């Protein structure tokens, strides 16, 4: 399946789909090692020193390893935010958090878009947006992703979408706690383009749930595997096996997760321009906006043309490598090969 610097894509995706959570994590170590070997045997590796992790990057990754996410502060100034939001406000969007999951009907904000819970943008529009592709390729972000994944990352998805208030909770469409199953291991850079808090769709993450070892520690001293999802006066006990907490996408367990991990739930608020990076295999959700619409971007880093990349039907878009937006190097052509045509 993986020999030397060759990869059987079909077998790798099939393996990814069949593996347990623990098996994926174990295989990720071997996969990152093989990718490093491939890069060392190519001229791509010669450019890698451009963003070797600094000491502060290593500290950030320690936090990411422990919590499952890290807040990165502001990465767009007021002028850049206005320019980016103006760009997206003029474009049609589609009525799901991903275009591939929508009815494929384009709608503008003042022409029906807000009649649905979500409004997403085509990937080529996200790539053409000011500052987004540049952020995805910023040395700091590539260093964080490289250190976390154990090898040079592959950028496999860019997405931007609105969450609109006034709709029922989409518990099985990002607004219920869940795990992403994109790759053997991956990380996601999120960028808020609107001020985001409790009333406008803040991201929530259950710290430590990206790691089975950390999760076992969190469960010590609790009533697990018996969980009371009722009240003290009217208890409703359910039995939950440890494996159930890591089986598939894990949608539908919000009441259980809130009971057993309540103190571990972090709400990630932020101003427009703030960014954070997370391991989406940990339990997370977006709070449904109650008052204000939220516009957010994701930038996904992984290893290869993974299960999510194929399921979402992503194909590279045309790109002018002489534009100067990102360096035209072997390193950047490798990192962006799944989203930018090379």
Task: Give Cα 25 distance to the centre of its chain.
Answer: 17
Over residues 21-29, mean pLDDT: 96
Instruction: Report helix angle 254-261 to 212-219, nearest 10.
Output: 70
Distance CA(146)–CA(303), nearest Å, equals 10
With 50 as the cut, is the pLDDT of residue 254 above it?
yes
Give the angle 222-228-230 at the CA atoms, nearest 5°: 150
Q: What does the buried/exposed string (b/e) look like for 227-252 if buried means 16 or more CB atoms within 10 Å of the residue's CB? A: bebeeeeeeeeeebeeeebbeeebee
Residues paired with 159 in a beta bridge: 298
CB 229, CB 255: distance < 8 Å:
yes
With 70 as the cut, is the pLDDT of residue 197 above it?
yes
Tell me the per-residue pLDDT of 267-317, one tens digit each, with 9 for 90 and over.
Answer: 999 999 999 999 999 999 999 999 999 999 999 999 999 999 999 999 999
Sign of CA dihedral 64, 67, 68, 70: negative
Per-residue tokens: 201: 């769709």
Concatenated DSSP letters of 108-171? -TTTTGGGSSEEE--HHHHHHSTTHHHHHT-HHHHHHHHHHHTS--EEEEEEEEEE-SSS---T
CB 156, CB 314: distance < 8 Å:
yes
CB 160, CB 133: distance < 8 Å:
no
Instruction: Report helix angle 21-40 to 212-219, nearest 10.
Output: 150
Residues paired with 118 in a beta bridge: 163
Per-residue tokens: 310: 């194929």
**Integer distance in angstroms from the first to the last C-alpha of the chain?**
26
Sheet with 187-192, edge to edge strand ranges = 69-74, 274-278, 187-192, 294-302, 154-163, 118-120
CB 48, CB 152: distance < 8 Å:
yes
Tell me the per-residue pLDDT of 198-238, one tens digit each, with 9 for 90 and over.
Answer: 999 999 999 999 999 999 999 998 899 999 988 888 999 99
With 50 as the cut, is the pLDDT of residue 3 above it?
no
With 60 as the cut, is the pLDDT of residue 2 above it?
no
> In which element (H, E) is residue 5 found?
none
Cis peptide before 258 (omega within 30 of 0): no
Read off φ and ψ for residue 292, nearest 5 degrees.
-125, 150
Read off φ and ψ for residue 176, nearest 5 degrees.
-115, 150
Query: Can you give the pLDDT at residue 1?
Result: 40
Tell me the per-residue pLDDT of 105-135, one tens digit each, with 9 for 90 and over.
Answer: 999 999 999 999 999 999 999 999 999 999 9
> In which element (H, E) is residue 12 found?
helix 9-18
CATH top-level class for 2-205+270-314?
A: mainly beta
Tell me the per-residue pLDDT of 43-74, one tens digit each, with 9 for 90 and over.
Answer: 777 666 666 666 678 899 999 999 999 999 99
Those residues with Cβ within 8 angstroms of residue 18's Cβ, 6 or more apart along the chain or in another chain: none
pLDDT band at 171 (very low <50, low <70, confident <90, very high): confident
pLDDT above 90 coverage of the chain, percent: 85
Question: Could you state, in order of their start, the residue ranges of all structural domains in the chain?
Answer: 2-205+270-314
Distance CA(307)–CA(281), nearest Å, equals 14
3-state secondary structure of 283: coil
> In which element (H, E) is residue 105 found?
none
Tell me the per-residue pLDDT of 6-22, one tens digit each, with 9 for 90 and over.
Answer: 568 889 999 999 999 99
């Amino acid at each position: 399946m993986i020999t030397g610097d060759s990869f059987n894509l079909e077998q790798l995706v099939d393996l990814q789909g069949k593996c347990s959570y623990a098996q994926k994590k174990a295989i990720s170590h071997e996969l990152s090692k093989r990718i490093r070997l491939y890069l060392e045997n190519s001229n791509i590796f010669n450019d890698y020193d451009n963003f070797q992790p600094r000491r502060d990057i290593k500290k950030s990754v320690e936090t990411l390893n422990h919590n499952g996410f890290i807040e990165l502060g502001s990465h767009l100034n007021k002028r850049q935010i206005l320019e980016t939001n103006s760009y997206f406000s003029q474009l049609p969007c589609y009525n799901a958090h991903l275009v591939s999951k929508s009815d494929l009907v384009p709608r503008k904000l003042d022409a029906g878009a807000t009649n649905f819970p979500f409004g997403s943008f085509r990937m080529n529009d996200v790539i053409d947006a000011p500052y987004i592709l540049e952020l995805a390729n910023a040395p700091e972000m590539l260093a964080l992703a490289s250190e976390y994944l154990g090898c040079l990352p592959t950028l496999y998805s860019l997405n931007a979408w609105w969450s609109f208030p006034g709709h029922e909770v989409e518990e099985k469409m990002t607004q219920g706690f869940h795990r992403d199953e994109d790759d053997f291991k991956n990380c996601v850079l999120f960028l808020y383009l609107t001020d985001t808090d409790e009333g406008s769709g803040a991201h929530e993450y259950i710290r430590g749930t990206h790691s089975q070892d950390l999760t076992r520690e969190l469960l010590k001293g609790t009533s697990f595997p018996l969980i009371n999802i009722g009240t003290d006066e009217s208890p409703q006990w359910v039995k939950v096996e440890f494996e159930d907490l890591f089986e598939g996408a894990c949608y539908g367990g919000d009441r259980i997760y809130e009971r057993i991990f309540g103190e571990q739930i972090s709400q990630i608020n932020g101003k427009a321009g703030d960014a954070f990076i997370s391991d989406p295999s940990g339990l997370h959700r977006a709070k449904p906006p109650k008052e204000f619409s939220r516009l957010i971007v994701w930038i996904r880093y992984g290893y290869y043309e993974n299960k999510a990349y194929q399921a979402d039907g992503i194909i590279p878009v045309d790109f002018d490598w002489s534009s100067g937006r990102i360096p035209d190097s072997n390193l950047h052509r490798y990192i962006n090969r799944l989203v930018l045509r090379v």
